[in-house]
Amino acid sequence: MLREARIRARIDISEIEARTKIRAKYLRALENEEWDLLPGPTYVKSFLRSYAQALGLDSKLLVEEYKLRHDRLSEVEMQPIISGTGPPGPRERHRPGPGFSRWWLIGGAALVIVILLAAVGLLSGSGSSHHPSAASHVFKAPTHPRTTASRQAALQAARRRRVRIQLIPTAPVYVCLEAASGRKPLDGVIITPGGRNQTYRSKRFRLTLGNGSVRMKVNGKDLSVPQSPNAISYLVTPQGRHSATAAQAPRCP
């Protein structure tokens, strides 16, 4: 249906790729129903909606037809039903493991150590009866408020040196997100509304968006993205968000 509609409209596959930001090989896979060449059922449904809208077709009808013909049963539905009416099997007699006697030896040794420590404590207590402050000095752990404050300050400084980013799509949008380490948590994927909006953390990010159909949160602050038919690239650091040049943009498939 998609291929015939595109041919009737005399539209090249590259033009659909430019409109939808979906790679041409995925568009051809949709036309040929080669589902194993696509990332997964969630992306297939998103791609079908975008492709159908670009051709002016009923996207809901296409997605529903795909679900009826190709969606598989979940793992829970595929599990066999186990009947509980059959006779119970023979009970296995519990046998102590080879480490049973070893645990008795360890417990006995621990008990001896506790008794010895208690005896030493009684002797030291009787010898220091004239100096009650000595016992309190031994058992009372010293507090270091300065150390605790310095640790808290160090943790706060570490948080300020990192950036948190969350992307909330309002329509299907291509995303390439690269962390400071070079790892790409979103390596050229299409994200759609209604999915899980995960928060990513790093010292800095390089980001490219296929269009402006997304809201961005940086360190909990909402930042708008201008509507654009072209790709938009940013550098995101603890100091804020800045526009990126083509050389600074991340590279994704």
In this predicted model, which residue has the larger pLDDT, 148 or 46? 46
pLDDT at residue 138 is higher than 80: no
The radius of gyration of the chain's CA atoms, rounded to the nearest angstrom, is 32
> Who's near 146: CB < 8 A, 6+ residues apart?
none
| Residue 156 binned pLDDT confidence (cut-offs 50, 70, 90) | confident
DSSP state of 247: T
In this predicted model, which residue has the larger pLDDT, 201 or 126? 201
pLDDT of residue 130: 46
pLDDT at residue 140 is higher than 80: no
Average pLDDT over residues 51-59: 88
Q: Identify the weakest region by mean pLDDT among 35-39, 167-171, 222-226.
A: 35-39
In the chain, % of residues over pLDDT 70 = 76
| Residue 73 binned pLDDT confidence (cut-offs 50, 70, 90) | very low
Q: Is 144 helix (H, G, I), strand (E, B) or coil?
A: coil
Q: Cα(57)–Cα(98) distance, rounded to whole angstroms? A: 70
172, 190 in Cβ contact below 8 A? Answer: yes
pLDDT of residue 23: 92
| Residue 160 binned pLDDT confidence (cut-offs 50, 70, 90) | confident
Degrees (nearest 5) of the Cα angle 170, 176, 180? Answer: 125
What residues pair up with 208 in beta bridges, in sequence order?
176, 233
Average pLDDT over residues 162-169: 92
Other C-beta atoms closer than 10 Å to the C-beta of 84 total 5
pLDDT at residue 18 is higher than 90: yes
In the chain, % of residues over pLDDT 90 = 26
Domain 2-70 has CATH 1.10.287.1080: no
In this predicted model, which residue has the larger pLDDT, 113 or 144? 113
pLDDT at residue 81 is higher than 50: no
In this predicted model, which residue has the larger pLDDT, 69 or 179? 179
| Residue 86 binned pLDDT confidence (cut-offs 50, 70, 90) | very low
pLDDT of residue 78: 45
Q: Dmax over Cα atoms in the chain, in whole Å?
A: 104
Domain positions in the chain are: 2-70, 161-243
Reading phi first (left if > 0) and then psi (alpha if -120 to 50, else beta), residue 188 is in left
